[in-house]
Amino acid sequence: MPGSTFGTLLKITTWGESHGKGVGVVIDGCPPKIPLTEDMIQKMMDRRKPGSSIASTSRREADKAVIMSGVFDGMTTGTPIMIMLFNTDADSSSYSPFSELFRPGHGDISYQAKYGIRDWRGGGRASARETAARVAAGAVAKAILDKENISVKAYTIELGGIEAKKRDVDLISKNPFCCPDADAAQDMENRVIEVRKQGDSVGGIVEIIAKGVPAGLGDPVFDKLDADLAKALMSIGAVKGVEIGAGFAAARMTGSQNNDPILPQGFATNNSGGILAGISNGDDIVARVAVKPIPSISIEQKTIDKQGNPQTLSVKGRHDVSAIPRINVVCEAMVCLVLADHLLRQKAIL
Amino acid sequence: MPGSTFGTLLKITTWGESHGKGVGVVIDGCPPKIPLTEDMIQKMMDRRKPGSSIASTSRREADKAVIMSGVFDGMTTGTPIMIMLFNTDADSSSYSPFSELFRPGHGDISYQAKYGIRDWRGGGRASARETAARVAAGAVAKAILDKENISVKAYTIELGGIEAKKRDVDLISKNPFCCPDADAAQDMENRVIEVRKQGDSVGGIVEIIAKGVPAGLGDPVFDKLDADLAKALMSIGAVKGVEIGAGFAAARMTGSQNNDPILPQGFATNNSGGILAGISNGDDIVARVAVKPIPSISIEQKTIDKQGNPQTLSVKGRHDVSAIPRINVVCEAMVCLVLADHLLRQKAIL
Amino acid sequence: MPGSTFGTLLKITTWGESHGKGVGVVIDGCPPKIPLTEDMIQKMMDRRKPGSSIASTSRREADKAVIMSGVFDGMTTGTPIMIMLFNTDADSSSYSPFSELFRPGHGDISYQAKYGIRDWRGGGRASARETAARVAAGAVAKAILDKENISVKAYTIELGGIEAKKRDVDLISKNPFCCPDADAAQDMENRVIEVRKQGDSVGGIVEIIAKGVPAGLGDPVFDKLDADLAKALMSIGAVKGVEIGAGFAAARMTGSQNNDPILPQGFATNNSGGILAGISNGDDIVARVAVKPIPSISIEQKTIDKQGNPQTLSVKGRHDVSAIPRINVVCEAMVCLVLADHLLRQKAIL
Amino acid sequence: MPGSTFGTLLKITTWGESHGKGVGVVIDGCPPKIPLTEDMIQKMMDRRKPGSSIASTSRREADKAVIMSGVFDGMTTGTPIMIMLFNTDADSSSYSPFSELFRPGHGDISYQAKYGIRDWRGGGRASARETAARVAAGAVAKAILDKENISVKAYTIELGGIEAKKRDVDLISKNPFCCPDADAAQDMENRVIEVRKQGDSVGGIVEIIAKGVPAGLGDPVFDKLDADLAKALMSIGAVKGVEIGAGFAAARMTGSQNNDPILPQGFATNNSGGILAGISNGDDIVARVAVKPIPSISIEQKTIDKQGNPQTLSVKGRHDVSAIPRINVVCEAMVCLVLADHLLRQKAIL
């Protein structure tokens, strides 16, 4: 029944609800003597902040990361690192109707079925606010990967039906949608403005790429690198699909098209997404996730109340029009956590 | 580093290589007093057998499942169930060139990088033969689910670019591709014959549907039902993508299109694939996986040998043209294992 | 490498150092709808407070337990419960000599060998202060056990060589050593006064008894109830031995003496300590732990510094003369955690 | 509910019953390229064989270890190693009365309570035969430790009340009781002969010593080295107590007696048993276990049947008079498994 722990050697445990005292994470298994400061974590937290794009909510959590343990003189000590994020801007008033109503597309109805009780304020544990703890943990994982010159980047390749045609990663930090294609970014903005007016929301696709990953990571036959990435990414609230390398497109290829020829200087193509038989092959790791549209929309929807009576509801409150781009850094964090965990696992072999 | 154990309360551990003495699985945590016979397991094993379609290899493993422990008087005892599958038709001769060459699209190069040694005969541990143990374990999971009237079915909805337009599940057992659309099945056959002639292979898409799953299964925030399904399915060798419900299509919908309205009699649509916030909502669980084309093709390919020298190779031997339909029952088994595990996990709450 | 998580279905993760910002615990897997208040936790925390006996340190931590998550309207919600204990009375000044010296009997030298870095202030992670988080978690476990009418009690049966001859558990709360024998308690007090004068410390034996445990708990062959109890208790800093039922005395018995006859009304004796073949048999669970003397003594001792040079040291500061009786509630907490975990595990069978 | 898996990075899963088709173990996580042959395993298995002392049963299992997977060209490959031990001399006839009666001191009554069904033949899963799989796994762990020059030895220091006064480990293989004191060994033999005549059985104490263990193994605060050793050893059927270093004797010492002075050349004494704060300190690891007398005795005992009616029973069949010395190699195997696991865990730090 417990499900808030993830990882084998780099093991994280998150806790907290949207409108409780805060959220946080214990990171256990981080190697000692890795430089770690609150600033390093904050830098990653800030990328998850709302308000960075017009697709985002107006709720303003400072999301100030506080290191409570496991760091001494600016270095990790090998003991558990607890990172705390106090809730400061929680306003539950707009949620009170939902104590009795199930919001379509949200976990209200399934949480009620599972636990028979739920903290309905702001979605409680099922709130996207939970992902703040993942990002804090991801910052620690990133510090581990940095030491090995492994880098991970997430960016938007599709939003509201608008596809990025290019992969100019230098553009990611230069437009509000973290899109590697300036033209597409402009179209995305127009699309978001239009949808916001309609009281609706949009989904999209995020791509994550990891460079510098050594060959050999991943533990067949169940803890394969792609299997653990799939779990890590699918565990993010809004994600409905995960693919590696060519992904679903591979289903339409022939073997001669899909196989990546092996040359002395490396692979000629990367349909595998850097993973063969569940083990990294030294090429870039490439994953893509399908992000569903935010379920909180002001358009009226049919639902039922706790007694099963038909009702309608319209979700007002402060909501994003799309989980993208705020979800990008969450995807990046989850990939960092999986890679750092498998990096440590592989050390036990050598 | 160990990666051959899967599950929390229904925990399986597989072992074995393609051309060693056999493969097998230990299933630990199966509740006691569940009727279990070798025939029940064999019935499921037989669906994985080659030769059931023209897409399959001519290797003929009897794949006779032998229960070695954990069953007494035809009932499970609650102790570990070991199921053994001896290898009987292994022929390593055609593999000997690959002791020194890395086959493109296979795990040869990544296994070598990881372990520095590999059993190259028939792909060793990375062989699809490993999945026989998953199917045997899946048969035990199915026996658990049967008691709760939960059924799971996998079928082919796309092969070599041919899509099924219908979902007539009664047809699944009536055509060699386990396709719920008779016309598509015919087209698939033509496509496979054509590709086989070219010495090439094809991929496709398998859909898995579970009916009768009670609301409440899945343990946020990491062991969500969809997250565990994603890991389970992505851990199958040929799978490169997993989606739940509307999946990647959800990325192109608006919230008002994607949200499933909740009516007193149930959900009006099932874009969620039966899972909200990582917890089953009582609707059908629907998952889809992208299966890449079999990498073993007789068309000549570029590769390198263990010393890094450029080489070409053409894979002869006995190979399937597509992992579909043999992989279907493997997908079904993995879904059964996840559902049975989470069913047991949920009992600890009640 | 991570080692701060314990339990399978009731899973706890602790964090924190003696002189950092605080210590705490995440309890994941607690069933929903169990009444839980900070007062319930505080009541158990207070039993661990120093100052309750003359054997204890003068450090005065308020040890105010704050529930940060997982509780709503006074009830658990099934989501992770984080309990926080801020450090308020940490005084590192007396520890500064030990940044360079290894205190005999403490983990200074082994922590340095393992991690190459250590937070030397107050013993850091190796401080007994870590056990405060265990007690907070134990209070949650106790709330689960209460629902099933299972009670757990720990008391002192030996201290500084003085043995309790009786088991009058009503006396436990009536003398400062939690001893079920009033005469022995008086002798223990005299012994402690004498040892304190000598600048030395003493060890002792704690017995833990659990009543009302249903038959059937424990998962052979490795997660046996006695095996998990042994791990739980041996993981407490000062514990050097654990025995169940007759324990080491059983090694000197014959089978006819040690076997507990089974009568229609129950077992005639309880040499088994309520556990047969690793599974509870319905009788009282009885465990005993050997507690070593506190290593911090003012008597001068030989040691080395970080450079390996011979040194002498005398530990001043505020220290207990014995871990008993403060350790008793820690033992009780660990037994509660094991029993509650196995109680939940057993539900998955039924 | 599953409990037959042990270890984190060196993970073993055992299966099998006394009178089923066999017992076995999957060892997952063994590093690649370690020389491993069936002879190496057999050598350790043979030390568990009955008939090596007059304290043992006359059942003669060949206990021929067969490596089924994970080894290629005499070397481990990093993939799961399955070792199989077929049952060949099982004779269930003498057990048939016990299908309805609960044998005192055995798990019959607790297994029935837990599972509601049990394989009563030869004790089923609760039979000491289960430990054969542990020894096979221990042989693999020993091969890992050999590479690092770590040695582990178990020997008898007490049997039927007779204590060894010496620790001459060269004598262990030279008397039937594996006793490091020749005089004591002679007295043990006399004691066993006497007890056998009485139809009774005896217990004793086994000491296990590990030399060459590097400082730094063990993961506080729960997966401490002593905590994991305690679980490993207590999980062996007949064990009722575990102590480390001075153990229960430490409870009677003062701090100045118990603390091991640290000298430039190492520790002056070893009351800690080589473990401080749960982490190895570089000194010898020393553990001791209390072994209860074999419960199967021919002296008549009181019990009940499955319906709860009072009965008497006398256990005939082929039984050991003491679990010692056959249990010694089981203790040794469990210690090897814990040390090898923590050795791998510690590599992830470096």
User: What digits encode the pLDDT tens for the residues C265-317?
Assistant: 999 999 999 999 999 999 999 999 999 999 999 999 999 999 999 999 998 86
Contact C206, C328 (CB under 8 A): yes
Bond preceding residue C325 cis, omega within 30 of 0: yes
Task: Answer for the pair B144, B343: CB distance below 8 angstroms, yes or no.
Answer: yes
Segments of chain B scoring below 70 in pLDDT: 51-61, 90, 317-318, 350
Helix (H) or strand (E) holding B263: strand B262-263
> Closest by alpha carbon to C277, among C339, C345, C207, C217?
C217
CB contact (8 A) between residue D295 and residue C250:
no
How many of the other CB atoms lie within 10 Å of CB of D240?
Answer: 26
- For the CA atoms of chain C, what is the radius of gyration? 21
Residues of D in contact with B4 (CB under 8 A): 26, 28, 79-80
B32: chain C residues, CB-CB within 8 Å: 349
Closest Cα in chain B, distance from residue C310 (Å): 41
Q: Domain range for residue D18?
A: 5-347
From A38, A47, A228, select the one nearest A140 (Cα to Cα).
A38
Closest CA to A231 of B244, C335, C119: B244
Residue D280 sits in a domain whose CATH number is 3.60.150.10
Instruction: Report the gap between the CA of D140 and the closest CA in chain A (Å).
Output: 15
Query: Which chain C residues touch D193 with a CB distance below 8 Å?
Result: none
Chain A residue numbers touching D345 (CB-CB < 8 A): 9, 348
Estimate to the nearest angstrom the gap between the alpha carbon of A175 and the chain centroid.
19
CB contact under 8 A, B69 and D16: yes
How far A151 CA sits from the closest chain D CA (Å)? 20
DSSP helix, strand, coil percent of chain B (3-state; round to 5): 35, 25, 45
Sign of CA dihedral D110, D114, D118, D123: negative
Q: Which of the other chains make 3 or more beta carbon contacts under 8 angstroms with chain B?
A: A, C, D
The closest of C154, C239, C193, C172 to C55, measured between CA atoms, is C193
Q: Find how far residue C16's CA is from the centre of its chain.
A: 17
Please give, rounded to a whole number of angstroms, the shortest distance from the CA of B77 to a CA of chain C. 11
Question: What whole-number distance in Å separates Cα of residue A204 and Cα of residue A198?
Answer: 18
Count of beta carbons in the 10 Å neighbourhood of residue C37: 14
**D237, D241, D253 member nearest C293 (Cβ):** D253
Q: What is the pLDDT of residue B318?
A: 65
The alpha-carbon gap from A62 to the nearest alpha carbon of chain B, in Å, equals 23
Is there a contact between B347 and C345 if contact means CB atoms under 8 Å apart?
no
State whether residue C17 is helix, strand or coil.
coil
In whole angstroms, give the CA distance from residue B67 to residue D163: 45
CA neighbor of A333 nearest in space, from A87, A69, A9, A27: A27
Taking alpha carbons only, the member of D93, D26, D240, A329 closest to residue B69 is: D26
- Put simply, the answer to whether B9 touches C344 (Cβ < 8 Å) is no
Cβ–Cβ gap B28/D82 under 8 Å: no
Residue for token digits 């221990």? D138
At C232-269, the pLDDT tens digits run 999 999 999 999 999 999 999 999 999 999 999 999 99
Q: Are the CB atoms for C81 and C27 separated by under 8 Å?
A: yes
Would you call C241 and D251 a contact, using CB atoms and an 8 Å cutoff?
A: yes
Q: Are A285 and A233 in contact (CB under 8 A)?
A: no
What's the pLDDT score for residue C333?
98
Give backbone dihedrals phi and psi of C342, rounded to 5 degrees, phi first. Answer: -70, -30
Count of structural domains within chain A? 1
Q: A227 and B245 in contact by Cβ < 8 A?
A: no
Q: How far is D1 from chain A (nearest CA, A)?
A: 13
C-alpha to C-alpha distance for D327 and D319, rounded to whole angstroms: 14
Residue contact C349–B220, C-beta within 8 A: no
Both tokens of residue B273?
Answer: 């694939």
Model confidence at C62, pLDDT cuts 50, 70, 90, reads confident
> Using an 8 Å Cβ cutoff, are D312 and D302 in contact?
yes
C244–D240 C-beta distance less than 8 A = yes
Whether the CB-CB separation of D24 and D66 falls below 8 Å is answered with no
Which residues 6+ apart lie within 8 Å of A105 measured at CB? A292, A295, A296, B255, B258, B259, B260, B272, B276
- Give the per-residue pLDDT at B120: 92
| CB pair distance less than 8 Å for C241 and D250 | yes
CB atoms within 10 A of CB B39: 9
Choose the closest CB to A348 out of D79, D220, D344: D344
Q: Chain C residues with CB inside 8 Å of A1's CB? A: 9, 29, 31, 78, 344
Interface test with B, best of D36, D72, D98, D108 (most B CBs within 10 A): D72
Cis preceding-peptide flag for C202 (omega within 30 of 0): no
Taking CA–CA distances from B120, the nearest residue in chain D reads D72
Q: What is the pLDDT of residue B37?
A: 98
Are C302 and D268 a contacting pair at CB < 8 A?
yes
Q: Which residues contact C232 (CB under 8 A, 6 or more apart)?
A: C6, C334, C335, C337, C338, D222, D227
Per-residue pLDDT of chain D (350 residues; tens, 9 = 90+): 899 999 999 999 999 999 999 999 999 999 999 999 999 999 999 999 876 566 666 556 678 999 999 999 999 999 999 999 999 876 777 778 788 999 999 999 999 999 999 999 989 999 999 999 999 999 999 999 999 999 999 999 999 999 999 999 999 999 999 999 999 999 999 999 999 999 999 999 999 999 999 999 999 999 999 999 999 999 999 999 999 999 999 999 999 999 999 999 999 999 999 999 999 999 999 999 999 999 999 999 999 999 999 999 998 866 789 999 999 999 999 999 999 999 999 998 86
- Residue B240 backbone phi and psi in degrees, to 5: -115, -5
Nearest CA in chain D to A32: D349
Cβ-Cβ contacts under 8 Å for A190 (sequence gap 6 or more) = none
**Chain A residues within 8 A of B262 when measuring between CB atoms:** 102, 104, 109, 302-304
CA nearest neighbour of A292 among B226, B239, B206, B245: B245
- Closest chain C CA to residue D206: C251
Q: How many residues does chain D have?
A: 350
Burial label, B265 (beta-carbon count in 10 A; 0-12, 13-18, 19+): exposed
pLDDT by residue, tens only, chain A of 350 residues:
899 999 999 999 999 999 999 999 999 999 999 999 999 999 999 999 876 566 666 556 678 999 999 999 999 999 999 999 999 876 777 778 788 999 999 999 999 999 999 999 989 999 999 999 999 999 999 999 999 999 999 999 999 999 999 999 999 999 999 999 999 999 999 999 999 999 999 999 999 999 999 999 999 999 999 999 999 999 999 999 999 999 999 999 999 999 999 999 999 999 999 999 999 999 999 999 999 999 999 999 999 999 999 999 998 866 789 999 999 999 999 999 999 999 999 998 86
How crowded is residue A163: how many other Cβ atoms within 10 Å of its Cβ? 16
Distance to chain B for C3, nearest Cα, Å:
17
The answer to whether C326 and C52 are in contact (CB under 8 A) is yes
- Please choose, from the candidates A4, A85, A70, A1, the residue with its C-alpha nearest in 3D space to the C-alpha of residue A36: A70
For chain C, what percentages of helix, strand and coil (3-state, to nearest 5) are there? 35, 25, 45
B280 CA: distance to closest CA in chain D (Å): 23
D-chain CB neighbours of A8 within 8 Å are 8
Instruction: Please judge whether D77 and B33 are an interchain contact, meaning their C-beta atoms are less than 8 angstroms apart.
Output: no
Interface of D with A (CB under 8 A): 8-9, 29, 31-32, 78-79, 220, 344-345, 347-350
B181 φ, ψ (degrees, to nearest 5): -145, 115
Give tens-digit pLDDT for B19-77: 999 999 999 999 999 999 999 999 999 999 876 566 666 556 678 999 999 999 999 99
Rounded Cα gap, residues B92 and C330, in angstroms:
59
The answer to whether the CB atoms of B349 and C79 lie below 8 A apart is no
pLDDT of residue D34: 97
Better-predicted residue by pLDDT, D133 or C94: D133
Question: Given this model, what pLDDT does residue C298 score?
Answer: 95
Helices A225-234 & B225-234, crossing angle to 10 degrees? Answer: 160
